[in-house]
Amino acid sequence: MNSSRTGLRRAALAVLSAALVATAAGTAQAHPGKVGPAEGHHHGKGHPKPAASLRDLADRRHVLIGTAVDTTALAEDGAYRAATAREFSSVTAENAMKWEVVEPERGRYDWSAADELVRFARAHGQQVRGHTLLWHNQLPAWLTEGVADGSIDAKELRKILREHITAEVKHFKGKIYQWDVVNEVFEEDGSLRDSIWLQQLGPSYIADAFRWAHRADPGAKLFMNDYNVEGVNAKSTAYYELAKKLRAQGVPVQGMGVQAHLDIQYGFPTDLAANLARFDRLGLRTAITEADVRMFTPSDPAKLARQASDYRGLLAACLATKGCTSFTVWGFTDKYSWVPGTFEGEGEANILDADFRHKPAYEALREELVKRH
């Protein structure tokens, strides 16, 4: 990270710190210090009570509704900051807790952006999901280059991994309710991903990661997390079998995260509820962790209706599963979506448009929460 970018980042964090003071008081009245129903608003005569937020409705269902948070947008965009506080009882750092951000140089940690998000969450009575401790992407260059040139051998890499997981989990001990410990460790056919972790350490790195994380914070629930595991297929079954095996060995695998990055050009995973249920029966918690529903742009009423139906289906499956206690969208406004930069010609994947207006998908989530209350 160059010095100019570091300066901009520090300025953004300073703006966010100031914004916390300016916005926390009003939200704290609605959500006083903990996740729970936002009851007891008082409105003068002639001032109608505003419609319940997603957060209000989810609180009544005893489920956390969350969003991934772009920490730069949180610092710089007042409308984004207000919507994050109003609509969600859980937040996930989109990038601020990933390895390349928190340990850009070996042994030098930068928790600043992640700490600001945690402070924001505490000020607004929100829970925090940790994402992610171990992944094959967004690793710092010092690590990947060291493995590539042989200066970091397998023994050293295992030590580095243990130190990283221990340091990060300890830093946030007591502040994270769920950690994505291992992220995207399987291929589509159910074989283990051929990452540097598998190449250098063998499959035991997965159990090690859970043990180290649990030792650092026994109170956090520890999850596996992946995409294309919504239905019963080779990939989700590989996770099911791995969880069963590791739990039999006493490894503290406690949850399965289903990312749920959907696309309206494909069919909805109608066996999602059945898939969540089998993990539930295994004794694992489940969560929808990164929901969005993309489409080829521009949108039209038919596309938006299909998107809304998919969001509704995702939430319905979670609500139907006893152990599914959190539902997280991967960003909530099209203004900051990752989709257009990754899927050419696609976008408009979120529940609010780029001007923060409610889309049919937002209303579908509200209706599903109301229907089940």
Residue 13 is encoded by which pair of tokens? 């964090």
Out of 87, 168, 230, 290, which one is annotated catalytic?
290
Do the beta carbons of residue 69 and residue 93 sit within 8 Å?
A: yes
- Among 34, 240, 254, which Cα is nearest to 125's? 34
The whole-angstrom separation of Cα 234 and Cα 238 is 6
Residue 19 is encoded by which pair of tokens? 């914004």
Strands (DSSP E) contained in 70-118 are 90-93
Do the beta carbons of residue 317 and residue 273 sit within 8 Å?
A: yes
Do the beta carbons of residue 148 and residue 189 sit within 8 Å?
A: no
Do the beta carbons of residue 339 and residue 347 sit within 8 Å?
A: yes
Per the listing, tokens 């969880």 go with 243
The whole-angstrom separation of Cα 260 and Cα 328 is 10
Whether 184 sits among the annotated catalytic residues: the reply is yes
DSSP 292-309: EEEEESSP-HHHHHHHHH
Do the beta carbons of residue 230 and residue 269 sit within 8 Å?
A: yes
Give every CB contact of residue 365 below 8 A, 6+ residues apart in sequence: 54, 65, 311, 312, 315, 351
Helix H or strand E segment including 291? strand 285-296
Task: Give the β-pairing of 90-93 and 127-134.
Answer: parallel
Residue 142 is encoded by which pair of tokens? 């010092």
346 forms bridges with which residues in the sheet? 296
Out of 184, 230, 348, 368, which one is annotated catalytic?
184
Residue 21 is encoded by which pair of tokens? 């003071």
Task: Give the β-pairing of 285-296 and 346-347.
Answer: antiparallel
Indicate which residues carry an active-site annotation: 184, 290
